Amino acid sequence: MTVAWINRGLAAAILVFLVLVPPLHVLSEFNLSQVGTRSLWLGIAAASVVFLAANGGMVSLGQAAIYGVAGFTYADLVVKVGWGHWPAIFAGMGTAIAFGLAVGLVARRTTGIYFLMLTLAVGVIVYYFYLQVEQVSGQTGLHLDRAPALVGGDTISHPTRLYYAALILSALVYVFIRYLVRTPFGIALQGIRDDPVRMASLGYNVELHRAVAFAVGAAIASIAGILSVFFNLQISPSSIDINQTIIVLAIAVVGGLTRLRSSSSTRSRGRHTCPESCSGRSARSGTRPGSGCCSCSSSSPRRAG
């Protein structure tokens, strides 16, 4: 309990610090934007990886592609079709979510390392799609004059508003994920991660849950995609290439693929489902003292077939 409170205090302190960074001038404008804002939007992209890995047991290498779909659609609609910013932004996010759902449906029965490969392939397809189809991008990419006024318009010269926008959205994403993992959907998802066979026999539609979870991940990633366009005022296929995919994954891994989830979900999971999923594995590969369930969740798909 005390540890939890210390954690909460620490989190609150960090949040206050982040809010106060611009007025205190502790960072130069460059660092505020290139370190602060960049970390925030990459963090949102990584959060979608972590959400899927921690709660669905799905390690995705396709999140960069999905935020690319959002970013490209937004930029295309503004630059090539001449839409206003806000309709284009929502259309971009909507497209990314629909795309995520489609990928989720294709991958609904694919688990573990195969899921990793499939999403990697999706990432490469999206990259080549935007590289090759000149009508939507081509290698040159798309350049915007400015972002919406709400986030500061010319975000390169005036980065402070975008920083706050990214900060607020990061906080919202965090709260949203915390909320979602406590809903029946979130709990069912964790159950599926740990023992899909049991969940299926309990009457849950395992595959649909996976697909929907992936769409939710896509929704989170699409926010990052829009922010990245605000941030760079351009997007090109190199924004979503394999290096970028690895960067997003690396952020998620360094942060802990199974870490960013609410304490309550850990508790609810810890008592019931996890020992089940560990038992088969720990019997084979020896004991794992004190490691709880974190390390087995990612390798559990071995039993998933």
- Of residues 108, 131, 127, the one with CA closest to residue 118: 108
Of the pair 180, 217, the CB lying nearest other proteins is at 217
- Binding-site size, other proteins (CB under 8 A): 66
CB of 101 to other proteins, least distance (A): 14
Say how many C-beta atoms besides its own lie within 10 A of residue 246's C-beta: 13
Q: Is 110 in the site for other proteins (CB under 8 A)?
A: yes
Quick check: 59 and 264 in contact, CB under 8 A? Answer: no
Of the pair 53, 180, the CB lying nearest other proteins is at 53
DSSP state of 150: G
Mutual angle of helices 273-285 and 263-271, in 10-degree steps = 70
CB of 231 to other proteins, least distance (A): 10
Give the N- to C-terminal CA distance of the chain in Å, as an integer. 38
Find the DSSP H helices in 77-205.
85-106, 112-132, 160-180, 184-194, 196-201
Q: What are the two backbone dihedrals, phi and then psi, of residue 181, each rounded to the nearest 5 degrees?
A: -70, -10
Find the binder of other proteins among 80, 143, 259, 272 (CB under 8 A): 143
Of the pair 186, 237, the CB lying nearest other proteins is at 237
Of the pair 31, 268, the CB lying nearest other proteins is at 31
Interface region with other proteins, contact rule CB under 8 A, candidates 44-52, 79-87, 127-135, 179-187: 127-135
Q: Is 251 in the site for other proteins (CB under 8 A)?
A: no
Find the binder of other proteins among 78, 97, 107, 188 (CB under 8 A): 107
Site for other proteins in 44-73 (CB under 8 A): 59
State the Cα angle at 262 between 257 and 266, rounded to 5°. Answer: 80
CB of 9 to other proteins, least distance (A): 26
Q: Is 135 in the site for other proteins (CB under 8 A)?
A: no
Q: Is 241 in the site for other proteins (CB under 8 A)?
A: yes
24 burial (CB, 10 Å; 0-12 / 13-18 / 19+) is exposed
Residues 6+ away with beta carbon under 8 Å from 186 = 55, 180, 265
Sites of contact with other proteins (CB under 8 A) = 22-23, 25, 28-31, 33-34, 59, 106-107, 109-114, 116-118, 120-122, 124-125, 128-129, 131-134, 138-141, 143, 152, 154, 156-158, 160-161, 164, 232-234, 236, 238-239, 241-242, 244, 246, 249, 253, 257, 281, 284-285, 295, 298-299, 302, 305
